[in-house]
Every structure is written in structure tokens, then in C-alpha cells.
């Protein structure tokens, strides 16, 4: 047992030797060697393109002015059919599917991609049916996502 304790003390003191200079003594400042710290990590922050911000701001202002009392925001499901970093490509995909399906189609910017999503499904089962329909078209990689959806009130309250 004494041998084990002696061994642990010896190992601990050996581990602290390289950082001895890094310790602070009373009243003295001691430089910490650069090797003491982990390497710095650079994080690239990507902002949406300015034209996207302008368009979204314009759309939000129009939506505020035209807000229909019967439309309610809720949590539901949509089917995502594509994601791209090119806005024009996302708009082309949207135009193509709008002509093929009766559901609402949305282009949503979630950095760093524009995501093309279809539908306003209240239940997962509704979204699963929509997914089958979309996959029978050319969108074999489509999948269901949880999303804020717009639904119309039935009772008029």
C-alpha cells in the first residue's frame, strides 16, 4: 500500500514538472507557455446573402400587413424535397414541384442551405402520406421534418 502511494506521488510530481514555470507564486506574475493551451480553433460564421435578407424582410412585412385572422401558426410536419446553397436552384425546384402537386411549397433559408419543403401537415400520418406521393415523383430522397406550419381555423374563432 505504501509502495502504491509512493508511486502515485512520484507520477504526479513528474507530470507537473513541465508546467512548473506556469504556476503563480505570491506577488509574481509567471508566463504560461503557449504549449499549455489547446490549439486555437477558427470558426467561420456565414451570414445569409444580403438579397436573401432583403427578400425575407420584405416578405415578413407583407405578411404582417396581409395577416388573415383565420390562419394560425402551429407546430406540424412538412416534407423536405431538396437542400442547396444556391437560392436560384431552390426557386427552380419550387417552381417545378408547384406544377406537380396541390400542396403549398416553401423555400426556407437555414444557414447555409436553402431547403425546399412541401405541405402543412398537422399529423405525422398526413406527412407520411404526402411523403409517399412526393417519392412517387422524382424526389426519392425526400423526408419528413418537424416544422412550424400555417393552418386555417375551421371554427372561425
Q: How remote is the C-alpha of 27 from its chain's centroid?
A: 49
CATH topology of domain 70-152: Alpha-Beta Plaits (3.30.70)
Q: Which candidate, 120, 139, 138, places its Cα nearest to that of 82? A: 139
Average pLDDT of the residues in 145-154: 84
Nearest by Cα to 101 from 143, 132, 57: 132
Compute the average pLDDT of residues 102-124. Answer: 94
Q: Using 50, 70 and 90 to split pLDDT, how confident is the model at 38? A: very low
Looking at the predicted structure, is the pLDDT value of residue 129 above 70?
yes
Q: What is the pLDDT of residue 123?
A: 93
In the chain, which ranges are E strands? 71-84, 105-110, 113-121, 143-152
Tell me what pLDDT residue 22 has. 45
What's the rounded mean pLDDT across residues 97-102?
Answer: 92
Side-chain half-sphere exposure of 17, counting CA atoms within 13 A: 6
Lowest model confidence (mean pLDDT) among 55-64, 95-104, 129-138, 140-149:
55-64
What pLDDT shows up at residue 21?
Answer: 47
* Higher per-residue pLDDT: 127 or 3: 127
The three cell numbers of residue 1 are 500500500
The residues, ordered by sequence, that sit 6+ positions from 25 with a Cβ below 8 Å of its Cβ are none
Amino acid at each position: 500500500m505504501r509502495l502504491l502511494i509512493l508511486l502515485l506521488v512520484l507520477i504526479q510530481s513528474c507530470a507537473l514538472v513541465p508546467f512548473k514555470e506556469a504556476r503563480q507564486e505570491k506577488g509574481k506574475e509567471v508566463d504560461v507557455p503557449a504549449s499549455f493551451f489547446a490549439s486555437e480553433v477558427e470558426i467561420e460564421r456565414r451570414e445569409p446573402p444580403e438579397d436573401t435578407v432583403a427578400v425575407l424582410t420584405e416578405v415578413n412585412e407583407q405578411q404582417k400587413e396581409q395577416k388573415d385572422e383565420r390562419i394560425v401558426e402551429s407546430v406540424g410536419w412538412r416534407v423536405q424535397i431538396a437542400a442547396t446553397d444556391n437560392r436560384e436552384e431552390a426557386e427552380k425546384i419550387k417552381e417545378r414541384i408547384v406544377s406537380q402537386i396541390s400542396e403549398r411549397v416553401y423555400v426556407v433559408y437555414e444557414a447555409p442551405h436553402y431547403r425546399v419543403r412541401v405541405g402543412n401537415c398537422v399529423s405525422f400520418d398526413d406527412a407520411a402520406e404526402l411523403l409517399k406521393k412526393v417519392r412517387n415523383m422524382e424526389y426519392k430522397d425526400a423526408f419528413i421534418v418537424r416544422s412550424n406550419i400555417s393552418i386555417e381555423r375551421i371554427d372561425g374563432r
